[in-house]
Structure 1
Amino acid sequence: MDAQQTTPLSQYVGFDSITRQIESKLLKRGFQFNVMVVGQTGLGKSTLVNTLFASHLIESKGRLEAHESPRSTTEIHPVSHLVVENGVKLRLNVIDTPGYGDQVNNENCWDPIIKYIKDQHSAYLRKELTAMRDRYITDTRIHCCLFFINPTGHGLRPIDVTVMKKLADVVNVVPVIAKSDSLTLDERDLFKERIRAEMQYHDIRIYPFDSDEYEEEERELNERIRSLIPFAVVGSERNVVVDGKQVRGRKNRYGVINVENENHCEFVYLRNFLTRTHLQDLIETTALRHYEAFRSRQLLALKESSSKQQAAQQAQQQQAQQA
């Protein structure tokens, strides 16, 4: 096909208003964003999510008390909220996975997490293939998985490597160093370098991905994001006073950690990345990359199964005719 030429208009037509038309419809419908948090108990997963969205979305379970029995399985806890900002409605699902990595024997503790993610793809596919399907299919597919890394300063545990690789195959993984204020700035930088080297060595493909489909500006932004990952973060729902102003932060014996101060932690970078620059791309990447791969595999499996059934039926018919 020949390249299309740009044709000048002799007067105003008005189709440039289509962006406002689309925006109006989307604002009425609202948006859906599903985020999963994965990590050991006590790393501040709930607190960070609440800090990110400036709302009390999920209860912090924290570490187990001495009298409590350990969690034998990874229990999936989805929590749904409708949050509104300047007229924009966001239906937010937060999926917590308490119990991951807490046991002495953590073999296959990731299976319920992977199964849950695939189950959401499967549910969406079933609705998509229904003859009388809904006009708008409720999207419960996981758009982002925040993977919490223990701030040990030593590197990733073998189980972390295994789980991150398995998760990266089915969901957009964004690793974060939890409670990074437990490390000095030098320790933090060294820890980040070590984790990046380990992820590269083990070929763990984390979000955002590199693609020729992105414009130059988008590729440059993604490159800056990748240079920051894993985000070293601190979460807090409490307000503390700094120079006469209330800020979200934490007090310790050395002073105050202001979670929104870029010199203290990288919370602001993570928040801007998740909500202000890559929210829509996370949703699109889930649909076009992870779900599409799942959909293709499932449909191919159905086609093969159908072909085998037909072959078996033909064989039975031939045997019946010969008999």
Structure 2
Amino acid sequence: MTEEIRADSYVGFDSITNQIEHKLLKRGFQFNVMVVGQTGLGKSTLVNTIFASHLIDSKGRFASDEPVRQTTEIQALSHVIVENGVKLRLNIVDTPGYGDQVNNDNCWDPIVKYIKDQHSAYLRKELTAMRDRFIQDTRIHCCLYFINPTGHSLRAIDITVMKKLSEVVNVVPVIAKSDSLTFDEREAFKQKIREELIYHNIRLYPFDTDENDEEETALNESIRNIIPFAVVGSERQVIIDGRPVRGRKNRWGVVNVEDSTHCEFMHLRNFLTRTHLQDLIETTALIHYEAFRSKQLLALKEGVNARPAADRPQ
């Protein structure tokens, strides 16, 4: 047992937190987000709204003469955002074509493969003899899964894909364009989704671990009571009470995106950027990547042991 001793006079090692902060600020932070959902659910608009920047162009298939994508494509965009001296390298991975076919069997395979490929690339860099001091991290830290605001229940494809994705990445479900539902419809829909997630044993982020203190456990529980986030995204400014806010105007009135009584966008943004950003990164490394790494190294070991003794590396 280690005894805790208080120094008789000031030594200065408590400044280590400032030293760490200085180094981290100098290096910057990496955050990789994947968005999955059908065309037309506002994926690009929501990401742009969250980070208050025009990061993705809305290039959904809206023209009737434009051909339907035959497969799910993977498109990665990189940006550097600076806020109060903090530099965030943001990778946004879009999945155009997902769920847009008449037959969507296995449309999730390219998405799962992409996530695993990033784990594999990171593992290869880790195992090289002359590895980089700081390995470029392209592992997906968060997957925003967009649910169609039907107001009824999850589709079979939603259940299958969220189950597949939750095994390899932190999945955060959102109800897209939730202003198409009344408040009563929205709450009933959210409750139905939560029941289906439990019934199908789909384990979504955030997770509770033994390392969490009471405050973190309570915060995670409050998040789980909100999930799925019912959101509205908008890059446009509308005037409410004489001041410009991001919102959507229709014939019934104005939806203020940043008003938590209108939608849960603010809860989602605070969750992603202000309370759980670092935990999303750490969970990716300590849970999803570690599970992948262990499986790969065990397979490698078994492969070596299966070879004749003379062919094994010495």
Report the TM-score range of the alignment, normalised by the length of the smaller protein.
Answer: over 0.9
Query: Contact 1:237–1:249 at 8 Å: present in 2 too?
Result: yes
State the Cα deviation string for residues 224-267 of structure 1 (Å, max 9, x = none).
00000000000000000001000000000100000000010000
Any idea what the Cα deviations from partners look like across 1:250-285, whole Å, max 9, x if unmatched? 000100000000010000000000000000000000
* CA drift at 1:212: 2.0
The answer to whether the 8 Å contact 1:74/1:97 transfers is yes
1:134 lines up with 2:132 in the alignment: yes
Map of 2:224 onto structure 1: 226
Corresponding letter in the other structure for 1:197:
E
Q: 1:148-200 CA distances to partner (integer Å, 9 max, x unpaired)?
A: 00000011000110000000000000000000000000000000000000000
Within the candidate set 104, 107, 111, 2:105 is matched to 107
Runs (4+) of structure 1 moved beyond 4 Å?
A: 311-314
Maintained 8 Å contact 2:61/2:68:
no
Match of 1:78 among 73, 76, 79: 76
Q: Describe how 1:152-191 pairs up with structure 2 within 5 A.
A: 152-191=150-189
Which residue among 135, 148, 151 is the counterpart of 1:150?
148
- For 2:302 and 2:251, the matched residues in 1 are separated by 64
2 CA distance for matches of 1:151 and 1:303? Answer: 47
Q: 2:77·2:91 contact (CA, 8 Å) conserved in 1?
A: yes
Indicate the SS of the match to 2:103: coil
Structure 2 distance, partners of 1:12, 1:295, is 44
Q: Which residue of 2 aligns with 1:12?
A: 10
Counterpart AA for 1:285: T
- Partner letter of residue 175 of structure 1? P
Instruction: Name 1:68's counterpart in structure 2.
Output: 66
Deviation of the 1:5 alpha carbon: 1.7
Question: Which residue of structure 1 aligns with residue 289 of structure 2?
Answer: 291
Identity of aligned residues (%): 75
Matched-pair contact (CA < 8 Å) for 1:260–1:267: yes
* SS, match of residue 101 in structure 1: coil
Query: Does the 8 Å contact 2:174/2:230 carry over to 1?
Result: yes
Matching residue of 1:238: 236
Q: CA separation in 1, counterparts of 2:164 and 2:11?
A: 51
Contiguous gaps of at least 5 residues in structure 1:
315-323
After superposition, residues 208-223 of structure 1 pair within 5 angstroms as 208-223=206-221
Q: How does 1:115-130 map to 2 (within 5 A)?
A: 115-130=113-128
Aligned to 2:27: 29
Deviations along 1:272-308, one digit per CA (max 9) or x if unpaired, are 0000000000000000000000000000000011111
8 Å Cα contact 2:149-2:180 kept in structure 1 = yes
User: Number of residue pairs matched?
Assistant: 312
- 1:77-117: CA deviations, max 9, x gaps? 00000000000000000000011111000000000000000
- TM superposition score normalised by structure 1: 0.95
Q: Offset at 1:310? A: 3.0
The reply on whether 1:302 has 2:300 as its aligned counterpart is yes
| CA RMSD in angstroms, aligned pairs only | 1.0
Q: Structure 2, unaligned stretches of length 5 or more?
A: none
The corresponding residue for 2:205 is: 207
Measure the CA separation in 2 of the matches of 1:10 and 1:73. Answer: 68
Equivalent residue, structure 2, for 1:89: 87
- What is the CA–CA distance in structure 1 between the aligned matches of 2:299 and 2:112, rounded to whole Å? 19
Task: Tell me which moved more, 41-50 or 55-64.
Answer: 55-64
CA distance in 2, matches of 1:94, 1:13: 44
Over alpha carbons, which structure has the higher Rg? 1
The 3-state SS of whatever aligns with 2:274 is helix
1:229-268 equivalent positions in 2, closer than 5 A = 229-268=227-266
